[in-house]
Amino acid sequence: MPGEKVLVVEDEEDIQELIRYNLAREAYQVTCVTRGEEAIKKAQSISPDLMVLDLMLPGVDGLEVCRNLKKNPETSGIPVVMVTAKGEESDVVTGLELGADDYVTKPFSPKILLSRIKAVLRRRGDAPRDENGIIEYKDLVIHPGRHEVQVKNKPIELTFTEFRILQTLASRPGWVFTRSQIVDAVRGENYAVTDRSVDFQIVGLRKKLGTCAAYIQTVRGVGYRFQE
């Protein structure tokens, strides 16, 4: 995916240069701005393939930038990787619920940031695995139409809630889902699901998945992701 345009929004010069240098070395086209207002305008003018967005910005902060991007049809499809400081878990959750795709925490390794960027770009526009919506990952097969899950070709019995949680996570591998996003995905069928009960459901789901349980990863302080 080198050659794709990345907009870096970071007001700390040394961090901005660190990100710019490492992205440019991987042959990405990099544009840097330091303020939220600039980021919104630049996103509209250059239509980047991805934005690296610091949450702590002078003037319009990163959360407001993300909110603005996602409500504008012209920029809503731009993937966002947030850069946060330690202790900003609530901001991370808010950013993910606004539509950001992933995050890294300062101080971060450039290699980790690059891997997150590549993963987000790779899964952008992901569609179901086939016309029937079947999702397959090695020993795990999820068949939404049949409401069926198989591990090593053997069916496993899941509750409605467990199935919906697994389907939600597996439909976007690598994406971080907050607990409230998982609740929203399961709601609507008169099932009582709360943020706290999501953790309980995940424990039960992992037990039933057996050797495939490791696919469901806990993102501390935020929620869960499905990692192939």
Residues 54-104: pLDDT tens digits? 999 988 999 999 999 988 888 988 999 999 886 677 888 888 888 888 889
> What secondary structure letter does DSSP report for 135?
E
State whether residue 1 is helix, strand or coil.
coil
The CATH 3.40.50.2300 portion of the chain extends over: 5-123
**DSSP alpha helix (H) spans, 77-209:** 89-98, 110-123, 160-170, 179-186, 195-209
- Statement: residue 124 has pLDDT above 90: no
Q: Cis omega (within 30 of 0) on the bond before 107?
A: yes
CATH, domain 5-123, list 1.10.1740.10, 3.40.50.2300, 1.10.220.110, 3.40.50.1000:
3.40.50.2300
Higher pLDDT, 51 or 125: 51
The top-level CATH class assigned to 135-226 is mainly alpha
Q: Are 140 and 209 in contact (CB under 8 A)?
A: yes
Count other C-beta atoms under 10 Å from residue 49's C-beta: 20
Q: Cα separations (Å) of 217 from 25, 66, 97, 101?
A: 31, 25, 18, 16
Of all helices (H) and strands (E), which one includes residue 159? none
The CATH 1.10.10.10 portion of the chain extends over: 135-226
